[in-house]
Amino acid sequence: MIENRNIVPFVDLNFQNTQIKEEVLNDLNDLVVNSRFILGEQVSIFEEQFADYCETSQCIGVSSGTDALTIAVKSLSLNPGDEIIVPANTFVATAEAVVHGGGVPVLVDIQEDSYNIDPELIETSITGKTKAIIPVHLYGKPADMDPIMDLAKKYNLTVIEDAAQAHGALYKGKRVGSIGDIGCFSFYPSKNLGAWGDGGAIVTSDSLKAQQFRELRDHGSTKKNVHSTIGYTSRLDAIQALVLNKKLPYLDEWNQLRKDSSQIYNDQFALDNTNIVSPKYKEDEDHVYHIYAIQVPPASRDTLQDHLNESGIMTGIHYPNPIHKTKAFNYIKGSYPVSEEVSTKILSLPMYPGLQPKQLKEIVKLIKTNLK
């Protein structure tokens, strides 16, 4: 047992915050003195730098990842009944955004080894009403984008990447978010790039789309009293942009620390022959481990989680219910066996920059002892 209860939280942001806190508080003082709370310099700086980072020409800061996705869907000007393909295993926001944006979510099952949408199952779900595909780079692992882009081209579909969990990840050398037509990010505090509250961004290299997003996030307007369309109040908050401006320069370094920790977990799990499945990594991708999820036998998962909890190690399940098993979406009938099975086996272990090798090793030891 690890000494001191609660010694390993599921996420700990102190390591990151200590590095930026003083600078944030200094700049915050200027922001307050100038009362630049809505859009303004901090948001513009962030948009320019994040577009650069994502290798897109445009970034539009919005108030959450869900809004980024909703605005992306809304920009498609869907007709009633138009469909958008989303993975069955994702955070509920991906499907919610489709509905908020006026579309019908059509679920497609996932691959058991990547947890991402199975490209081989997409084509049979495409109908005359399909307008877009939203691959999710779940846990920070890039979805297999090449076959998805091929299908999008074949059927003239828009690809909206849900990169809410994958800031900085690479697919065949390309930044996620820049591969499809539109990329959506969340800056929820615990994300790889997290604000000190809610925030989100849309990236694209299509300047007409970017203009549409700028209008949609701000009451259909980019010019005072000119409202070209019906929009939202969904601007990235200036204070959050300020925090993100301080954090962005550290993103690659912090992602590397996550990757190092994942490597230690993987190596420790591989030492003995156990029935634990650790995450799979492909040579042509850069997985940024927002979540480090293992699979264990379903019969042992919940007791293992309870035991870890009692020993002071906090874990999570991402996600206990695939979309069609949530109350909100249980009207969606269909069979998504891989998502359903995976949801009974997965367990997310502590993962954040600042985790120590000793802690990681002790966590693995405890899991192995418990599963014997």
Contact footprint for ligand PLP (CB under 6 A) = 64-66, 90-91, 93-94, 136, 162, 164-165, 186, 188, 198, 200
Cβ–Cβ under 8 Å, residues 146 and 73 = no
Q: CB of 240: closest distance to ligand PLP in angstroms?
A: 11
Q: CB of 67: closest distance to ligand PLP in angstroms?
A: 7
Cα dihedral 121/126/131/135 (nearest 10): 0
Give the DSSP letter string of 227-294.
--S---B-BPBHHHHHHHHHHGGGHHHHHHHHHHHHHHHHHHHHTS--S-BPPP--TTEE---SSEEE
Identity of residue 203: V
Instruction: Say how far apart CA 176 and CA 141 lie, in whole Å.
Output: 9
Q: Which is nearer to ligand PLP, 100 or 259 (CB)?
A: 100
Q: CB of 325: closest distance to ligand PLP in angstroms?
A: 17
Q: CB of 238: closest distance to ligand PLP in angstroms?
A: 17
Q: Which is nearer to ligand PLP, 136 or 238 (CB)?
A: 136
Is 8 in a helix, a strand, or coil?
A: strand
Instruction: Say how far apart CA 258 and CA 28 lie, in whole Å.
Output: 29
**Sign of the C-alpha dihedral computed for residues 43, 48, 52 and 54 taken in this order:** positive
Q: Which is nearer to ligand PLP, 165 or 204 (CB)?
A: 165
Q: CB of 278: closest distance to ligand PLP in angstroms?
A: 21
Q: Which is nearer to ligand PLP, 90 or 311 (CB)?
A: 90
Q: Which is nearer to ligand PLP, 67 or 181 (CB)?
A: 67
Identity of residue 310: E
Q: CB of 167: closest distance to ligand PLP in angstroms?
A: 11
Q: Which is nearer to ligand PLP, 90 or 261 (CB)?
A: 90
Largest Cα span, the chain: 67
Minimal CB distance residue for ligand PLP: 65
Spell 60-76 as b/e; 16+ CB within 10 A means b. bbbbbbbbbbbbbbbbb
Element (H, E) at 147: helix 145-155
The order of strands in the sheet holding 285-286 is 174-175, 170-171, 285-286
Q: CB of 164: closest distance to ligand PLP in angstroms?
A: 3
Q: Which is nearer to ligand PLP, 69 or 78 (CB)?
A: 69
